Amino acid sequence: MGYTKRMLWMIPLMLAISFLSFGLVRMAPGGPFDRERKPASPEIERRIREKYHLDEPVLKQYGRYLMGILGGDLGPSLKYRNHTVTEIVVQGLPISMGLGLCAFVCALGLGIPLGLYTAARKGGFGEVAGTFLAVLLVSVPGFVIGPLLVMELGIRWRLLPVALLESPAHWILPVVTLGLYFAGRVARLLREGMLSVRNADFVMAARSKGLSDLEVMLRHTFRIGVLPVVSYSGPMLADLMTGSFVVENLFQIPGMGVFMVNSSLSRDYTMIVGLVLVYAWLLLVLNLVVDMAYRVLDPRIRHED
């Protein structure tokens, strides 16, 4: 399918996503204005709901919401009643994206060499060690690694800052905490991809030309072996860019990850739908890029079209 057509398809897709999530959030029990300390009279509650049009039928609310989007307005946040969703996204998204991008580079920078090493050393101790490391990275959650790193490097040795984002040094721990898990996944996927092609025809041809092992690996098998990593990069980058709740909660980073989780927990309808739309758009674009990368990397697919 041509890429322009794919991009045009994004619009109805986003509409479908917005509609589904709009309905989904209203299915969850509890509403945005349910509080421990309720207003003394139910009349006030009714008024609040009326003010934000929550007493209207869902379709009508959705129509109103769509009209708003066409005007560029994602609606007011129901939890932070003085802020609009657009404001919050504009504030938080660049930070999450920056953090995500750095973590992405970190994940690839750590994961690809690890994966290559594990694939190259197949059958020996190196493979076991490499797999051990990769699985370790994948099995320990971020809210354990993060506090450990903070405690050691930030409190005991006072090498790095413990939270907030105020200087370049502040970025190191969050990026590393975020990137380690994905580095492990990338390493595993890359190893898998490399091993799956190591006996392919073109590899044998390259080897018979007299190229060294490393050259063969890097120049030929890597392009195909990295395909699973490439397929995974799309969702990985989308996940990273929209912020990780754990890292942002721990390091108090004003990104979008915390909002994505907290808005679900506090039933902030407009925020949830707004964030979902941003996430969906990112995801669609990134998947497009990934598909393009696929074609570039795997000449077998390219030549078939």
Partner 1 sequence: MKTEPTAVARGDSRSRAWGRFASQRVAVCGAWVLVVCMTILLLWPWVQQFDPAMIGDRQFSAPDAEHWLGTDVHGRDMLSRVMHGARMSMLVGLAGAGVSLVIGVIWGALAGYVGGRLDAMMMRLVDILYSLPSIIFVIVLITTLEGVVKRWMSGLVTSEFASVTRVTLLFVGLGGVSWLTMSRIVRGQVMALRDRPFVVASRALGAGQWHILRRHILPNILGVVVVYATLTVPAVVLYESFLSFLGLGIQPPQASLGSLIAEGASQINSVRIYWWLIAYPSVVLAGLLMVLSFLGDGLRDALEVRSD
Partner 2 sequence: MRRRRLLLLRPQRNSLGCALRRAILPAVARWVWGRGAAQASCGWFLKPWNRWVPGLFLLLILGLGCSRRETAADLVIVNGQDPESLDPAIITGLEDYRAAPALFEGLTRSDPATARATPGLAERWEVSSDLTEYTFHLRRGLRWSTGEPMGSRDVVYSWLRLLDPRTAADYAALLFCLKNGEEYSLGKIVDASQVGVRALDEWTVRVKLVQPVPYFLDLCASPTLAVVPRHAIEAHGDRWLTSQPVPTSGPYTLETWRLNDKIRFRRNPLYWDAVNTLSERVDLLSISNPTTALNLYERGVVDIIWDKDLVPAELLEDLKVRRDYHAFQYIGTYFIRINVTRAPFQDVRVRRALGLAVDKKRIVERIIRGGEPVADYLVPSGVANHKAPDVLGYDPEAARALLREAGFPGGAGFPTFQYLYDSAAGGAAKVHAKVAVELQATWKRELGIEMELRQMEKKVYLAAQTALDYDLSRSSWVGDYNDSTTFLDLFLGNNGNNRTGWSHPRYEERMRQAGSEPDVERRARILSEAETLLVRDEVPIIPLYFYLGFQFYDPDKIEGIYGNILGMNPIRAVRKRSGVGVGR
Site residues, partner 1 (CB under 8 A): 1, 9, 13, 16-17, 20-21, 24-25, 27-29, 128, 131-132, 135-136, 138-141, 143-144, 147-148, 151, 155-156, 185, 188-189, 191-193, 195-197, 199-201, 224, 227-228, 230-232, 234-235, 238, 245-246, 260-261, 264-265, 272, 275-276, 279-280, 283-284, 287, 294, 298, 300-301, 304
- By CB under 8 A, tell whether 55 contacts partner 2: no
- When CB distances are held under 5 to 8 angstroms depending on the partner's kind, the choice from partner 2, partner 1, none that residue 175 binds is partner 2
CB of 15 to partner 2, least distance (A): 27
Burial 182-191 (b: 16+ CB within 10 A, else e): bbbbbbbbbb
What lies within 8 Å, CB to CB, of 62 at 6+ separation is 19, 22
Compute the half-sphere exposure of residue 46: CA atoms within 13 Å on the CB side of its CA: 3
| Other beta carbons less than 10 A from residue 177's beta carbon | 25
Residue 214 to residues 8, 76, 221: CA-CA distances in angstroms?
43, 56, 10
- When CB distances are held under 5 to 8 angstroms depending on the partner's kind, the choice from partner 2, partner 1, none that residue 69 binds is none
Nearer to partner 1, 39 or 194 (CB): 194
Cα–Cα nearest to 174, from 146, 152, 154: 146
Q: How many residues bind partner 2 (CB under 8 A)?
A: 82
CB of 8 to partner 2, least distance (A): 32
Burial of 227 (0-12, 13-18, 19+ CB in 10 A): buried
Q: Is the dihedral of CA 237, 238, 243, 246 positive or negative?
A: negative
Q: Interface with partner 2 by CB under 8 A: which range of 35-43, 53-61, 184-192, 234-242? A: 35-43
Nearer to partner 2, 163 or 297 (CB): 163
- By CB under 8 A, tell whether 88 contacts partner 2: yes
- When CB distances are held under 5 to 8 angstroms depending on the partner's kind, the choice from partner 1, partner 2, none that residue 90 binds is none
